Structure 1
Amino acid sequence: MEYRIEWPAPMDESDWAMQEIKGWIDVTIVWDGGRRDVEVYDPLRLAQSVGELMNHYGYVAVKYLLVVPRVTPENIESAVSELVDKHFF
């Protein structure tokens, strides 16, 4: 299946370094006939976000979540490629 990842904006090395520090990014996976917005987190930031949401709302609901070791374009591209191969999208 042909697909592409739409990043939130053109990003250079400095932008990616900041994104990796933040530990999350929202991307869109686009393929013929579909698109899916995906929240991407590293494990530490995910745990922090879950804790904050639990304290505030008492629950956590995430429709499309991808957790990668570090929020880098390489990790995201690799994970998405594997998911595409497994017909996730």
Structure 2
Amino acid sequence: MEYRIEWPAPMDESDWAMQAIKGWTDVTVVWEGGRREGGRRKAEVYDPVRLAQSVGELMHHYGYVAVKHLLVVPRVTPENIESAVSELVDKHFFDHA
């Protein structure tokens, strides 16, 4: 299946360093082929530490957590995101989107 990742904005190394410190970003995965004609899925990408912080804040304020299209990677870098998305494509994850 053909796919591409749409990043939130063009970013250089300095921007990505700040993103990694922040611990989260949003990306959109766009694909063609597979069992479906194609599509797009926005994903919230977190590192484990920032995810735990966000979950704690949401639990405190709302008493529950509901996250659609969550992707957790060891560190928010383009390489980690690309690797995770590639593995999900290989496992036909987007065929069931």
User: Could you tell me the TM-score, scaled by structure 2's length?
Assistant: 0.91
1:41-52 aligned at under 5 Å gives the runs: 41-52=46-57
Gaps of 5+ in 2: 33-37
Query: Is the aligned partner of 1:27 residue 2:32?
Result: no
Aligned partner of 1:6 in structure 2 is 6
1:35 to partner: Cα distance: 0.1
Instruction: After superposition, give the CA deviation of every residue in 1:61-87 in whole Å (9 maximum; x if it has no partner).
Output: 001000000000000000000000000
Q: Which runs of 4 or more aligned residues in structure 1 lie more than 2 Å from their structure 2 counterparts after TM superposition?
A: none
The separation in 1 between residues aligned to 2:81 and 2:90, in whole angstroms, is 14
3-state SS of paired residue (2:27): strand
Structure 2 distance, partners of 1:55, 1:80, is 31
Partner of 1:65: 70
Shift of 1:54: 0.3
Q: Let me know the Cα RMSD of the aligned residues.
A: 0.4
In the TM superposition, what is the alpha-carbon distance from 1:27 to its structure 2 partner?
Answer: 0.2
Which amino acid in 2 is paired with 1:79?
Answer: A
The structure having more radius of gyration, on CA atoms, is: 2
Q: TM-score normalised to the size of structure 1?
A: 0.99
Paired residue total: 89
Percent identical pairs in the alignment equals: 90
**Corresponding position: 1:53 with 2:58:** yes
